[in-house]
Structure 1
Amino acid sequence: MMGLFVSTSMRVSLNMAVVCMVNSTAFDSGYNNGTKAIDIFTNKEEKCPKISVEEEKSKGYHGTFLWSSADQSLLLSATFYGGLVSVSFAGLLADRFGPKLVLFLGIFDGLVVTLLTPLLANFNFHGLLAARFLMGIGEGFVFPSVTSMIARWIPKNEKSTSAAISTSGNQIASIFGLWFSAILCGSELLGGWPLIFYFFAFLTFIWCFFWFYFVTNSPEGNHHISKEESAYLEEQLQSQSIVHKAGSNKLYSSSIPWFKMLTSVPVIVNFLAQLVYTFSLGLLQTYLPLFMKQILRVELSKNGFYAMLPFLTQLVTKNIFAILSDYIKRKGYVSNTVGCKIFQLIGNIGSALCYLVLAFFVDCTSLSITIITLLVYGALFSAGVCGFFTSQLSVAPQFTGVLFSIARLASIAGGATAINIVGYINKHGTLEEWRTIWLFAAAVNVIVGIIYTLFSSAEIQPWAKQPEKEEISSSENTTLENLD
């Protein structure tokens, strides 16, 4: 969980920093604030003209960087493009050689880039862009390594709960990162915004120390748990077609059935669900502070607080949903597959409804409606962890790292698509432009929700099962399975 926290914090810290670094009015001096198309639905555009230079400064935004909307989109999406370099082999390395070192190196890469960001931002835009690309390469190792580590430790009936707890680092990073970054932005020390990067680099350094000291690739090699607990975990994990070879860190000994894996309907459906999930997550993580500034006219001192609210409810409800999901499956009320379908549908359709509210009922005069909608959105969106995410952990346990490398490709595509779509549509920060963005997000969630309900599965696939005659052995330095 803390690994995802520091990794996500270093990435999303730029999302809030950009809001207070950039002079967003510099490129729009000749733009006409009126937008007649809005009158089809409401007359609110006249009450909410585009934010002026004077109003922006009065609310605490004193940015000096002259980065266009296209520049910002390119910078914010650079980590996703960097991830394309490592996505094809990150999970394979974690499964074959153990996730401890792979995860450490991926996060240490982000630490170095984060620490150098203030210098690079003042020195050269393209230098910063290249650094963020390199940061993305390292981040590409994080998620597959985390899933590989968890799969080596977590029994089958605890996967939803474990997935929710481990991935809570993403929500904690968004909650704390957005809120505290806004506070640091308003500081006069070192110019305010550089403190964001120094602070999160420091937290990451502390994590690196504890990770190296306390963590092992498997229960057998860990001296911080009892022998009884280690034996229990080994017994539970061996029942999930996880093969251990003595003296090796490999999660499996058989070859990877690439063709069957890549043509598997559950894998393809999970890929689509992951893509839309990350699109929605990237949309709010990256651009909610900007939406707060452009449409709701929120002061800088309050921007981070309001922007973190959907992630706060998501953090709470995802763990409640996970416990509920594991409980009803353990009691036999629903099968693994039906449980995943139910929660995935809640996540997709619930998110779509909230996007429609943001599209048609929100402007600069309706902050309270926006806050309520975002709180509800976070609660419903979180159900996806018990949907596609749990399915990804279940369909091929011993190939979890490989599957999550494939899923990482969907994550990269989803996050980059969200940033590029907003960058393409949101040229002037108008209500009409944001309405188009929310409607697109609602449409893709509905489509994927329907597809997932029809074609998904959460059962171990035939191609992922080990031959009965293959021996399962263990050793002190071997690994078990992995999870996210």
Structure 2
Amino acid sequence: MDQTEAKKPSFIFSVRFLMAFVMFFGFCLNYMQKIDMSIAIVCMINNTALKMSHSENHALTQKINDNFTILKNKSESSLQCPASLSHSKTKYDGPFVWEKSTQGLVLSAYFYGYIITQIPGGWLAFIFGVKRVIALSMGIGSLLTLSIPFFARLSYKALIGCLFFTGLAHGAFWPSASALWAFWAPVNERSRLVGLASSGSKVGSIVALSLGGILCVYGFDGGWPSIFYLFGTAGIIWSLILFFIASDSPKDHFFISDKEKKYILEETKKTANSQNSQKKIPWLEIFSSKACWSIFIGHFAHNWGNYLFLTQIPSFLKDVLKFDIKSNGLVSSIPYISCWIATTVSCFISDYLSKKTRLSRTTIRRIFCGIGLFCPAIAVIGLSFINCSNVILGVVILTLGVSFDAVNTGAGYLVNINDIAGPYSGILFGISNTIATIPGILSPSIAGVLTKNHSQKEWQMVFLLCALIYIIFGILSLVLLDSNLQKWSKIEKEETESKNKNVEIKS
């Protein structure tokens, strides 16, 4: 033990820690660009013109009734909505008169592209190198992000096309980033390195939501375009930094010490070899495995809530809780600060239960998957009854919902991928994330269709549907859940053992 500790180079002052630190900012920017449209759209829409266009479509008698209803609703909201009262003097209207259904299409366009490159992302990393794919994924996505204001001003159809290709570029980021750690993360440091890097996604949500609201009001070129210019420029700079600092493997890195290089190469022998070996992938076994379907179903349910929160929080805060744009961004970021904390804490609690108790790994995963699916269901049911008269309660429930949802990534289905799949974890992640991107397409679109009039009752339907998916899919996921290493994932082990026996016989 003493000898191995002596051989082990410093963790903090190391190239592998630097790689995790750089990737932290990569995940941060990836998520900032993923949700930039959901923030910007709040200040891109001309709600005044939209209401006027609605009223013009009615007959004269209907107009009178509608106007009476509007006046009545205004007087009621001024009595009941403290947020709208405090911000009533400030009104922000954007240049676009897009219906709610169109807004839903715009918000889901990114995910149509994103879903296509999930599985190919890992394959591209294997063929062309991890660093190149990650850098190009972020670089191309960032260039397209910079062009979003131009395409938005052309037409909403042009914007949908731009967002589709942005998602297409970004889709390769997560699978290729996952492949990176097969070569850079020693087994006993993997959770720390991967955890540090991927936690950037939560911080990206916090930064984007809080900064986006401020840029909407005080940014240049009309406010909202500055969100895309800033996030896109930062992504291009990061891509260049990654390209010059990172490498696919410690073997190729230009300033890593010999001591650290030897340590990493020795510790990652098995994972790097299994990554490089051209074995047949057990596709049939994966798709017929109950344990895999537990992950697919749990991931789908988690992402339905996750993408609903991610893309619709700003709209819900504006429509129902009556927050202005500046407050909207800051309040939207609060749940994600709590989300980051919940992810980190759940990791430590899960490891503690595994080491200090007699609970099986399957039981532990079942506990955290249950918390991560059923607790958010309770939260969104509560949220469906919230209106602008109880704003603080609404923000608290929203924060709890997002936080409990994050437990899945810290100690639930996401960790279970590594538990059951061994050397095929990357493939299983790509498949699962492909299926789990479907909610990114459906959730914003359905929310847009259901909330045409921006009313609390319409949002109630959105949240109750989300709760139903959490509960039904959650039950199915828990019933099928298994955290034991699957037989088909032991193929590599069996083959190496048989090879060793053949070598012994020959000698």
TM-score, normalised by the number of residues in structure 1: 0.86
- SS at the partner of 2:96? coil
Residue 423 of structure 1 and its aligned partner are, at CA, apart by: 1.4
The one-letter amino acid paired with 2:352 is: Y
Match of 1:340 in 2: 365
Match of 2:217 in 1: 186
Match of 2:164 in 1: 133
1:320 aligned residue (326, 345, 349): 345
The one-letter amino acid paired with 1:313 is: S
The one-letter amino acid paired with 1:165 is: L
Distance (whole Å) between structure 1 residues aligned to residue 244 and residue 356 of structure 2: 38
1:371 aligned residue (395, 413, 432): 395
Residue 59 of structure 1 and its aligned partner are, at CA, apart by: 3.7
Worse overlay, 156-165 or 93-102: 156-165
The one-letter amino acid paired with 1:71 is: T
The 8 Å contact of residues 163 and 390 in structure 1, kept in 2 or not, is answered as: no
Distance (whole Å) between structure 2 residues aligned to residue 327 and residue 231 of structure 1: 31
| Structure 1 position 10 matched with structure 2 position 36 | no
Matches within 5 A, 1:157-196: 161-187=192-218, 189-196=220-227
| Structure 1 position 387 matched with structure 2 position 412 | yes
Match of 2:496 in 1: 470
Distance (whole Å) between structure 1 residues aligned to residue 483 and residue 388 of structure 2: 44
Residue 338 of structure 1 and its aligned partner are, at CA, apart by: 2.4
1:107 aligned residue (138, 159, 163): 138
2:469 aligned residue (431, 441, 444): 444
Distance (whole Å) between structure 1 residues aligned to residue 381 and residue 434 of structure 2: 28
Structure possessing the higher relative contact order (Cα contacts under 8 Å, 6 or more residues apart): 1
Match of 1:298 in 2: 323
Residue 151 to residue 337, structure 1, CA distance change in 2 (3 Å):
farther
- SS at the partner of 2:184? coil
The 8 Å contact of residues 59 and 300 in structure 1, kept in 2 or not, is answered as: no
Worse overlay, 192-201 or 76-85: 76-85
Distance (whole Å) between structure 2 residues aligned to residue 33 and residue 94 of structure 1: 59
- SS at the partner of 2:147? helix
The one-letter amino acid paired with 1:173 is: G
| Structure 1 position 65 matched with structure 2 position 89 | no
Matches within 5 A, 1:343-362: 343-360=368-385, 362=386
Residue 62 to residue 223, structure 1, CA distance change in 2 (3 Å):
same
| Structure 1 position 307 matched with structure 2 position 332 | yes
2:281 aligned residue (252, 256, 262): 256
Whichever of the two has the greater Rg, that structure is 2
Distance (whole Å) between structure 2 residues aligned to residue 276 and residue 410 of structure 1: 10
- SS at the partner of 1:85? coil
Residue 219 of structure 1 and its aligned partner are, at CA, apart by: 3.6
2:273 aligned residue (203, 224, 244): 244
Distance (whole Å) between structure 2 residues aligned to residue 210 and residue 182 of structure 1: 28
- SS at the partner of 2:384? helix
The 8 Å contact of residues 115 and 438 in structure 2, kept in 1 or not, is answered as: no
The 8 Å contact of residues 161 and 326 in structure 1, kept in 2 or not, is answered as: no
Residue 291 of structure 1 and its aligned partner are, at CA, apart by: 0.5
| Structure 1 position 123 matched with structure 2 position 154 | yes
Residue 333 of structure 1 and its aligned partner are, at CA, apart by: 4.2
Residue 270 of structure 1 and its aligned partner are, at CA, apart by: 0.7
Match of 2:17 in 1: none
The 8 Å contact of residues 84 and 412 in structure 1, kept in 2 or not, is answered as: yes
Distance (whole Å) between structure 2 residues aligned to residue 210 and residue 188 of structure 1: 26
The one-letter amino acid paired with 1:127 is: A
| Structure 1 position 266 matched with structure 2 position 291 | yes
Residue 20 to residue 282, structure 1, CA distance change in 2 (3 Å):
same
Distance (whole Å) between structure 2 residues aligned to residue 168 and residue 469 of structure 1: 36
Residue 320 to residue 417, structure 1, CA distance change in 2 (3 Å):
same
Distance (whole Å) between structure 2 residues aligned to residue 327 and residue 156 of structure 1: 18
Match of 1:478 in 2: none
Residue 101 to residue 9, structure 1, CA distance change in 2 (3 Å):
same
Residue 150 of structure 1 and its aligned partner are, at CA, apart by: 2.5
> Cα deviations across residues 159-199 of structure 1 (Å, max 9, x unaligned)?
55555433322211111101101101101632111111111
The 8 Å contact of residues 157 and 330 in structure 1, kept in 2 or not, is answered as: no
> Cα deviations across residues 273-320 of structure 1 (Å, max 9, x unaligned)?
111111111111111001110101111111101011111101122112
Structure holding more helix per residue: 2
The one-letter amino acid paired with 1:298 is: F
Distance (whole Å) between structure 1 residues aligned to residue 67 and residue 130 of structure 2: 52
Match of 1:480 in 2: none
The one-letter amino acid paired with 1:172 is: V
Residue 77 to residue 181, structure 1, CA distance change in 2 (3 Å):
same
> Cα deviations across residues 347-401 of structure 1 (Å, max 9, x unaligned)?
11111111121112x1111111012212322332221011000011332232233
| Structure 1 position 408 matched with structure 2 position 439 | no
Residue 233 to residue 445, structure 1, CA distance change in 2 (3 Å):
farther
Residue 55 of structure 1 and its aligned partner are, at CA, apart by: 11
Residue 359 to residue 299, structure 1, CA distance change in 2 (3 Å):
same
The one-letter amino acid paired with 1:369 is: L
- SS at the partner of 2:496? coil
The 8 Å contact of residues 157 and 326 in structure 1, kept in 2 or not, is answered as: no
Distance (whole Å) between structure 2 residues aligned to residue 14 and residue 139 of structure 1: 15
- SS at the partner of 1:62? coil
Structure 2 alignment gaps of length 5 or more: 1-23, 56-62, 70-75, 500-507
Distance (whole Å) between structure 2 residues aligned to residue 218 and residue 328 of structure 1: 34
Distance (whole Å) between structure 1 residues aligned to residue 267 and residue 366 of structure 2: 25
Worse overlay, 261-270 or 82-91: 82-91
Residue 407 of structure 1 and its aligned partner are, at CA, apart by: 1.9
Residue 448 of structure 1 and its aligned partner are, at CA, apart by: 2.6
Distance (whole Å) between structure 1 residues aligned to residue 78 and residue 90 of structure 2: 20
Residue 11 of structure 1 and its aligned partner are, at CA, apart by: 2.1
The one-letter amino acid paired with 2:332 is: A
> Cα deviations across residues 190-233 of structure 1 (Å, max 9, x unaligned)?
21111111110121122112211222223443455554544444
